[in-house]
């Protein structure tokens, strides 16, 4: 065989062998499009002029987001920096996503006076509101649990990428992929030690190792690595290779999550984007690449600092930083953020958001598409909700539910009734123990929490007013050859009671009578309007919630009442952006739909406010909760389910407590769910308190005698103010005490004349 053919075949064989990893991975640089997890963010918090807010509070918000306090002039602020004075806070905000798109980085100057936000300037112009960048709630990791944040060389300060080169490959811009000096040193070390240990790798070779050939130490691997490195240098620019390395270098771990790339390391170890790393932080990250498991700042801060100082010395030696910069950076302590990526925060909410992203936006690869999901959630609300649930179940298991070997479960969801945006979502007490989301997937009986639907139906059908009388006496209902006899919770009867008292005290028998009077089909009709989607059979027991539905359905019912009869489209997502920050088109959120008269909703709310004042929710008042809120408890047979749902104009919150296997408990709605609800609502109380519902134009207030329901007279020993729909307001005076007769003579006048 001719020598030329042999040489050609040899070259072909070597090339096939050497470049096989490229074929297996889809070609040159294919892995640089490495998948990244999508991220779920809170709804960006808004600050308004006239809001109660102190400079300390705003500075705390900025600190929580990784902004750096500096002593600089306004125009000198860099992205991620802020300054603070007694009545001023100035900050250069990052670019961040709103529901309408990504914002630009701007300087905001906030002015304060006596704890109030009195003025806002954005880039020198007066505005009434500003948004702050949203906090990250959670990331959607794949089964490999890898965290990545893509960075570009253009977006990084020079000292960041120079620190990497100083630590790993100072001659990067002058070699062709291989370093003769490094190879010679590696050969000498390997021959001396008798093992393949020293690599002599350039940054390009390290990139090849990260992408194609793996970390195993073998001569064949080094040959392949060198060949592919040369090919990369021929095909790609130095900037592209450097950027590829910055995005693929292994940077240690946080808990069980592996960190890949400079972006993930910067956010995890120092709590800032890579673009905002200062010189000391950049040198620390560059230094730990050599041994991320041992030199990470969260693992060995002192070791990290020693290695950082070596990198700073090398930077100064190369002339890439001044001696003054070197000295200042060395004086900085290594202070890791302490953030763990595997913390189970808002995981139930994240799962629900993923389902909504799939259904509304068609996104089904969240673990790899690098999308940005802007939620309606509030970080503070979510934190308060998770804390309230944990506190509540622990307290119940130490008290009423002690000596029970099954874990008690609880769920809490809160929504803005005006928009339908979910503010907090907790589907269970501990996501690590079980990922079953009780808010979406559990179908449980709702008990007396359904009674407001019966009341709304009766008012909408004009069958009663709040002051009308209902009969609370033994009742027998024949159905399917069987007799059903509903009982009140205390097994007693009260005779004649008003509609208001009946629902405030959650009496069962009058509620069933009212449902039968209205018509069970009519109750089903109005339940559908209010938001119930589960199957409803028109049986008398339906009036007492003896059927199953999801907590989200029940939340929708109360949200409709809270929004004055307009049913909101309950949702978790405001917008979704792809990895290139382009909006993902999806089904828009529907505006709240009017489904019941505003006056009817107000009357139901008024009676549910009485539940808190005098009825089954009165424990709130005894616990010091003073704001005007409406609510209703619910308890099912065997006390298997404990509910409380309540609201104010600003928010609706629902709490469920029980066992997953529907075992009986010792808990009523007031004993089990109400304390958790109260703790959450109190923790998220607005600074000025929850608002009050005002009667709409079709509602009249009338002073009546509660015994008769007629307009009160001077002879009535007891009076109260009651609300009515305008066409139902009483026109007759109290028939018990009657109209006071006017005398034709006046004794005092006779005595005066004589």
**Order of strands, sheet of 125-127, starting from the edge strand that comes earlier in the sequence:** 68-69, 81-85, 88-92, 107-113, 116-122, 125-127
Active site residue 168: yes
Tokens of 723: 């609300």
CA distance 286 to 315: 11
DSSP string, 140-177: E--TT-EEE----GGGS-HHHHHHHHHHH-TTTTTSSS
The angle formed by the CA atoms of residues 37, 293 and 142, to the nearest 5 degrees, is 20
DSSP 270: S
Catalytic residue among 179, 253, 414, 448: 448
Burial degree of 470 (CB within 10 A; 0-12, 13-18, 19+): buried
Is 50:117 a contact under the CB 8 Å cutoff? yes
Instruction: Using alpha carbons only, give the angle 689, 692, 693 rounded to the nearest 5 degrees.
Output: 155
Residue among 452, 447, 416, 418 nearest 610 (CA): 452
Torsion angles phi and psi, residue 689, rounded to 5: 90, 165
CA–CA distances in Å: residue 423 to residues 323, 346, 587 = 51, 11, 20
Q: Assess whether 368 carries a catalytic annotation.
A: no
Is residue 64 a contact partner of residue 165, using CB atoms and an 8 Å limit? no
**Cα–Cα distance between 695 and 599 in angstroms, integer?**
7
In DSSP notation, 25-89 reads TTSTTGGGG--B-EEEEPPPPEEETT-B--HHHHHHHHHHTT-EE----GGGPPTTEEEEETTEE
Instruction: List the catalytic residue out of 81, 168, 609, 722.
Output: 168
Where in the sequence numbering do the catalytic residues fall?
168, 448
């Amino acid at each position: 065989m001719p020598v030329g053919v042999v040489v050609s075949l040899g070259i072909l064989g070597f090339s096939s062998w050497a470049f096989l990893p490229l074929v297996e991975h889809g070609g040159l640089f294919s892995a640089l499009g490495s998948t990244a997890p999508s991220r779920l963010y809170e709804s960006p918090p808004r600050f308004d002029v006239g809001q109660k807010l102190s400079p300390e509070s705003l500075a705390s918000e900025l600190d929580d987001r990784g902004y750096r306090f500096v002593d600089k002039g306004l125009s000198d602020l860099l992205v991620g920096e802020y300054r603070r004075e007694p009545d001023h806070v100035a900050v250069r905000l990052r670019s961040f996503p709103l529901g309408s798109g990504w914002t630009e980085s701007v300087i905001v100057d906030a002015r304060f006076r006596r704890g109030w936000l009195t003025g806002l300037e954005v880039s020198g112009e007066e505005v009434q509101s500003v948004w702050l960048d949203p906090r990250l709630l959670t990331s959607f990791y794949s089964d490999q649990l890898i965290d990545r944040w893509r960075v570009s060389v253009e977006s990084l300060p020079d000292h960041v990428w120079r620190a990497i080169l100083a630590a790993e490959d100072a001659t990067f811009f002058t070699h062709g992929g291989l370093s003769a000096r490094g190879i010679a040193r590696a050969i000498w070390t390997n021959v001396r030690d008798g093992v393949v240990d020293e690599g002599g790798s350039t940054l390009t070779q390290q990139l090849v190792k990260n992408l194609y050939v793996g970390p195993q130490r073998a001569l064949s691997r080094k040959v392949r690595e060198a060949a592919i490195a040369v090919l990369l240098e021929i095909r790609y620019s130095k900037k592209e290779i450097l950027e590829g390395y910055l995005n693929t270098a292994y940077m240690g771990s946080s808990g069980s999550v592996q960190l890949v790339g400079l972006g993930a390391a910067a956010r995890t170890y120092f709590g800032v984007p890579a673009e905002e790393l200062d010189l000391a932080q950049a040198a620390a990250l560059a230094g730990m690449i050599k041994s991320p498991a041992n030199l990470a700042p969260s693992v060995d801060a002192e070791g990290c600092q020693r290695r950082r100082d070596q990198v700073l010395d090398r930077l100064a030696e190369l002339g890439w930083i001044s001696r003054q910069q070197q000295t200042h950076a060395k004086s900085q302590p290594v202070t890791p953020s302490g953030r763990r990526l595997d913390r189970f925060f808002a995981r139930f909410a994240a799962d629900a958001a993923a389902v909504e992203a799939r259904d509304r936006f068609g996104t089904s690869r969240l673990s790899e598409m690098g999308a940005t999901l802007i939620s309606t959630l509030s970080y503070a609300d979510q934190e308060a909700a998770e804390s309230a649930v944990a506190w509540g179940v622990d307290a119940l298991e130490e008290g009423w539910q002690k000596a029970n070997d099954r874990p008690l479960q609880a769920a809490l969801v809160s929504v803005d009734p005006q928009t339908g945006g979910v503010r907090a979502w907790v589907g269970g007490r501990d996501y690590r123990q079980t990922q079953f989301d009780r808010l979406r997937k559990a179908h449980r009986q709702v008990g007396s929490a359904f009674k407001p639907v019966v009341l709304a139906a009766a008012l909408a059908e004009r069958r009663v007013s709040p002051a009308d009388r209902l009969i609370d006496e033994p009742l027998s209902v024949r159905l399917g050859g069987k007799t059903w006899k509903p009982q009140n919770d205390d097994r007693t009867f009260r005779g004649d009671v008003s509609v208001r008292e009946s629902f405030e005290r959650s009496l069962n028998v009058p509620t069933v009578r009212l449902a039968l009077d209205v018509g069970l089909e009519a109750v089903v009709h109005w339940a559908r309007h209010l938001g119930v989607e589960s199957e409803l059979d028109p049986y008398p027991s339906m009036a007492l919630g003896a059927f199953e539905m999801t907590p989200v359905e029940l939340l929708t019912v109360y949200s409709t009442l809270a929004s004055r009869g307009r049913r909101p489209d309950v949702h978790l997502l405001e917008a979704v952006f792809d990895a290139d920050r382009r909006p993902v088109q999806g089904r828009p959120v529907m505006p709240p739909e009017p489904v019941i008269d505003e006056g009817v909703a107000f009357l139901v709310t008024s009676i549910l406010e009485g539940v808190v004042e005098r009825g089954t929710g009165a424990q709130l008042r005894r616990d010091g909760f003073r704001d005007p809120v409406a609510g209703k408890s619910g308890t099912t047979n065997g006390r298997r389910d404990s509910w409380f749902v309540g609201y104010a104009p600003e928010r609706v919150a629902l709490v469920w407590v029980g066992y997953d296997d529907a075992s009986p408990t010792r808990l009523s709605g007031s004993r089990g769910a109400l304390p958790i609800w109260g703790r959450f609502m109190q923790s998220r109380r607005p600074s000025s308190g929850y608002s009050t519902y005002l009667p709409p134009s079709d509602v009249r207030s009338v002073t009546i005698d509660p015994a008769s329901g007629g307009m009160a007279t001077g002879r009535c020993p007891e009076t109260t103010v009651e609300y009515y729909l305008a066409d139902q307001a009483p026109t007759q005076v109290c028939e018990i005490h009657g109209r006071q007769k006017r005398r034709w003579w006046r004794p005092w006048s006779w005595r005066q004349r004589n």
